[in-house]
Chains A and B, each alone.
Chain A
Amino acid sequence: MVLGIKEENSIVKSIHMATKPSTDVAKKVVYDTRNLNLWYGDHHGLKDINLSIYENEVTAIIGPSGCGKSTYLKTLNRMVELVPSVRTSGEIVYRERNILDKSYTVEELRTRVGMVFQKPNPFPKSIYDNIAYGPRIHGIKNKKILDEIVEKSLRGAAIWDEVKDRLNQNAYGLSGGQQQRICIARCLAIEPDVILMDEPTSALDPISTLKVEELVQELKKDYSIIIVTHNMQQAARISDRTAFFLSGEVVEYDKTDVIFQTPADQRTEDYISGRFG
């Protein structure tokens, strides 16, 4: 089964390579991080991050615990601001605008940048209401449109067939893997531009993990995906580009093949070969 997926991935990749030139210049940059520094109180959490994230790609962020990978991801939709003592400097340019600028409201940013969390966190509501939550808070009230959005999002998250007969049941009655795909569908419902995923499979069993990984491959056609993972095989399987974080710094950032086959930095090689972390 795993082998099958790998084959599929390589096919997807080869198509990808064929349709899009391998030169980075032609690809659009979604996020351009320039000299980003972040402090939690006195702790210097992110140090001089410079990173360009490309459109319609899966970008994986790997690194040992506490290296700042989740912090960086949460900076991209400013969820990091929920920690009261956070300070940042530098800039993150998203679609030509600096999101760290205070004039950029977090609501506007998060409407365009969705997020999937480590632990599935559906609302204690029906499956339907979970998916319709985003569109509803943004003012969509028409029942017919909502119905369409719900179906489209659930199909997009490859869970429609499993739940179509019980849309009115509580989302907490689903398995962990299904809950996580509900959360992905909830995120798709407002048609974001970017999806941030914070270790989305770490609480799931292998089969559910596989389904989510397949889904990520499918989603990158329409979305730019940034995924934090502690599972290096996962990063190798699903991502186009990988950034290796260590102690709040980006040690290496390149095409995933390069990172895993011919890493430039000794620390990257030590980490991916399992010598630490």
Chain B
Amino acid sequence: MVSQKENKTSSVQQLIANSRNKKIKKIVEKAMPTLLFSAALISILTTFGIVFTLIFETFEFFKRVSITDFLFGTQWLPFSGKEPLFGILPLIAGTLKVTLIAVVVAVPFGIASAIYLSEYASEKIRRTVKPILEVLAGVPTIVYGFFALTFVTPMLQQIIPGLKLFNALSPGIVVGIMILPMITSLSEDAMSSVPNSMREGALALGATKFEVAIKVVLPAALSGIISSVVLAISRAIGETMIVSLAGGSTPKFNLDVTDSIQTMTAYIVQVATGDAGYGTTIYYSIYSVGFTLFIFTLVMNLLAQYISKRFREVY
């Protein structure tokens, strides 16, 4: 009996030892950390490469155009023959107009629907609506662009008679619709992860469902909600196709939302798809605009990180 048992054990041990001694296994074990490290390294190097190119070409641009003209100039006329003007403010104005309209559309609706989904909707509704929202987030932005140009703009023109074919309002609204699912989905995640014991604590004090949502769940989830909004803003700033299609290509430094605009991204598209020759000032200008855009989104992302730490209600 005993010997049989010993025999059995030793044979299993034998099999394990055999497999452990296989050469291929040893090689894989040794090579794996290096392989995984290089995969991580590639993505980091690529990022550095992109930033480096951006900085390098921007530097070239500033050899031709003074940095004060670029930062404080109120006219962006790169194609005007003899005397091209490269003041970035009109492009920034275009971007901010669209972003602001998008935020005004997306934040109230996004947070309201997140509250509904997290606090009121039944499990069944939530399970149906969330995937739909994710589908909405997956619609190609060019489709949103058509939608803005061929549906939203004509509709708005019925309401606002003076509205131009290309304007800031229509792409602003549509960018808002585009970032809406992102805000809803991320805010809903933040609110759903607030423990139920907190809701019960408030309900037991005689709070209504709405009071629980607004005065307990919302503050507890605030850091997640704010960072979802900031991330959405950063997407709105970087949005390209919708504004290229429906926003126009006349950068203007004003606050008019019914007029044609050009955003930073739309300008880059215009030049990159046009025939600006390599080495010309216009060619380098897209890098300087790209770099400005990069700074904007970087700041927004850092802000999101800071806010989510600063406003975290620890529980």
Contact = CB atoms under 8 A, between A and B. Distances in A.
Interaction A to B: yes
Interface of A: 77, 79, 82, 84, 106-111, 114-115, 117, 119, 121-125, 133-134, 136-138, 170, 172, 183, 186-187, 190
B201 A186 contact: yes
B15 interface: no
Contacts of B220: 123-124
Given A107-B208, A119-B197, A124-B220, A133 B202 contact: yes
Interface string B164-207: 00000000000000000000000000000001011011111111
Nearest to B211: A137
Nearest to A107: B206
B203 A82 contact: yes
B37 interface: no
Of the listed residues B195, B200, B208, the one surrounded by the most CB atoms of chain A closer than 10 A to its CB is: B200
Contacts of B207: 107, 137
B39 interface: no
A181 to B, nearest CB: 14
Nearest to B204: A115
Contacts of A114: 204-205
Select the residue from B200, B202, B206 with max chain A CB neighbours within 10 A: B206
A226 B172 CA distance: 58
Given A137-B215, A170-B314, A121 B200 contact: yes
Interface in B262-304: none
Contact of A82 (B200, B205, B206): B200
Given A117-B197, A121-B198, A172 B315 contact: yes
B313 interface: yes
A133 B215 contact: yes
B201 A183 contact: yes
24 contacts: A79-B200, A79-B203, A82-B203, A106-B206, A107-B206, A108-B206, A109-B206, A111-B205, A114-B204, A114-B205, A117-B197, A117-B200, A121-B195, A121-B198, A125-B219, A125-B313, A137-B202, A137-B215, A138-B206, A172-B315, A183-B201, A186-B201, A186-B205, A187-B204
